[in-house]
Amino acid sequence: MPTAFIAALSCFAVVLAATGNDAARPKVCEPEGIRSGACATALAGNAQLALELDWLFGGKSQRGWGLYLPLIQSLIGSDTGADERGFAQALARWQSVQGLVPSGVLDRDTWSRMIANWQSRRIRDSVYPSSNQLVTVPVADLYDPERPMELRQVERNTYTAYKRMVETAMRDLAIAPGEKYLKIVSAFRSREYQSQLRRQSPQSGRAGLAVNSPHFSGRALDLYVGGEPVSTRDDNRALQTKTPVYRWLVKNAARFGFQPYFYEPWHWEYCN
C-alpha cells in the first residue's frame, strides 16, 4: 500500500476520533481539533500528499496534487498554502458541503471529487460550428504569427469574450502589448487535424490529446501562460501554474465565461 495512502488513512483515524459522529461540523484546526491533534495531523498529511498522492488520469500515472494548488485554493475559497491551517479549515468546510468526511486532508477521495467538479464545468459537446459561426483571428492575437489560416479560427462569441478578458488582464497585470502572454496558441481544430496530432504524439494519452476534443467546437482556446506553450511535462506545468497570468485566469476567467481544463494550465473553454 502506498505510503501516502497510509498517511491519509492515519489522518482519518485521528480526525474521526476527534469529531465523533458529527461530520456536519468540521473541527479541523478549530479549538477541538487543535486539542486533539487533528490539526497537526491534517497539516502534515496535506504537506505529504501534495507531493506523493498516487492517482491515475487519462491512462497515465500521476503523483501529488501540489501542481494544481491555485485551482484547489479557488475551489475551496482559501489563499493559504497546502501545509497551513487556513487551507485545512477551508478544505474541511468544502468536504462537509460535498458530503465527505471533513478531515481537512486532501486525500484520494477528495481529490477525485475535485477533478469531477472541474470536469463537470467543461464543454459538454464538441459539435462543429458552422462556417458563419467562426471568425478568423488576426495575427496580433496569435502566439505564432505564421499559424496557417485554417488553424486561426475561433467561434464568434468565444472570440468576443476572449478579447474582453485579455483587455482586462492586460490592464490588471500591466502586460505590455508586445508580450506573448494570453496570445492564442491553438483554437478550432478539425477532427482530421486532431487525428494527425495524435499520430505525431502517440504517447500523449487521452489527458494530453483527446479523441473527442473540445477544440472541435471552436470554443476551446490554448493560451500562452508561460514556459513551453503546451508541454504536459510536470516541471513545465508547475512553472506555468506559478505565473501571474495563470493565477489571474484562475481567479477571473469565469467572469468572462471561461472554465479551465485542470490538467493543462493553458487550456480554457468558453462555456456560456
> For 120-166, what is each residue's pLDDT tens digit?
999 987 788 998 999 999 999 999 999 988 899 999 999 999 999 99
State how far the Cα of 270 lies from the Cα of 51, in Å rounded to an integer. 31
In a domain, 250, yes or no: yes
Query: In terms of C-beta density within 10 A (0-12 exposed, 13-18 middle, 19 or more buried), how is residue 188 classed?
Result: buried
Is there a single domain that holds both residue 114 and residue 174?
no
State how far the Cα of 109 lies from the Cα of 113, in Å rounded to an integer. 6
Is there a single domain that holds both residue 220 and residue 192?
yes
Is pLDDT at 31 greater than 60 in this prediction? yes
Residue 1: per-residue pLDDT: 42
In a domain, 168, yes or no: yes
Amino acid at 238: A
Is there a single domain that holds both residue 95 and residue 218?
no
Q: What string of DSSP letters covers 156-217?
A: HHHHHHHHHHHHHHHHHHT--TTS-TT-EEE----HHHHHHHHHH-TTSHHHHS-SS-GGGG
In a domain, 197, yes or no: yes
In a domain, 95, yes or no: yes
Is there a single domain that holds both residue 209 and residue 106?
no
Residue 190: per-residue pLDDT: 74
Is there a single domain that holds both residue 145 and residue 259?
yes
Residue 201: per-residue pLDDT: 56
Residue 34: per-residue pLDDT: 56
In a domain, 125, yes or no: no
Is there a single domain that holds both residue 98 and residue 196?
no
* Long-range CB contacts for residues 90-96, cutoff 8 Å, separation at least 24: 91/28, 91/46, 92/26, 92/27, 92/28, 92/29, 92/42, 93/26, 95/26, 96/23, 96/24, 96/25, 96/26
Is there a single domain that holds both residue 257 and residue 151?
yes
State how far the Cα of 200 lies from the Cα of 128, in Å rounded to an integer. 23
The pLDDT-based confidence of 263 (bands split at 50, 70, 90) is very high
Provide mean pLDDT across the span 193-204. 58
* Long-range CB contacts for residues 203-206, cutoff 8 Å, separation at least 24: 204/232, 205/58, 205/59, 205/60, 206/58, 206/59
Condensed to tens digits (0 to 9), the pLDDT of residues 80-120 reads 999 999 999 999 999 999 999 999 999 999 999 999 999 99
In a domain, 144, yes or no: yes
Is pLDDT at 25 greater than 70 in this prediction? no
Q: Write the CB contacts of 39 (distance below 8 Å, at least 6 apart in sequence).
A: 28, 29, 33, 85, 88, 104
Is there a single domain that holds both residue 171 and residue 50?
no
Is there a single domain that holds both residue 193 and residue 142?
yes
What does pLDDT average to over the chain? 86
Where residue 262 sits, what CATH number does that domain have? Answer: 3.30.1380.10
Is there a single domain that holds both residue 140 and residue 209?
yes
Q: Identify the domain boundary among 87, 120, 153.
A: 120
For the four alpha carbons of 84, 86, 90 and 96, in that order, the dihedral sign comes to positive
Residue 198: per-residue pLDDT: 56
Q: Which domain holds residue 72?
A: 3-120
In a domain, 126, yes or no: no
Is there a single domain that holds both residue 185 and residue 88?
no
Residue 15: per-residue pLDDT: 37
Q: Identify the domain boundary among 71, 97, 120.
A: 120
Number of domains the chain is built from: 2
Of residues 234 and 31, more confidently modeled? 234
Residue 3: per-residue pLDDT: 41
The pLDDT-based confidence of 16 (bands split at 50, 70, 90) is very low
Is there a single domain that holds both residue 37 and residue 68?
yes
In a domain, 264, yes or no: yes
Q: Identify the domain boundary among 84, 99, 120.
A: 120
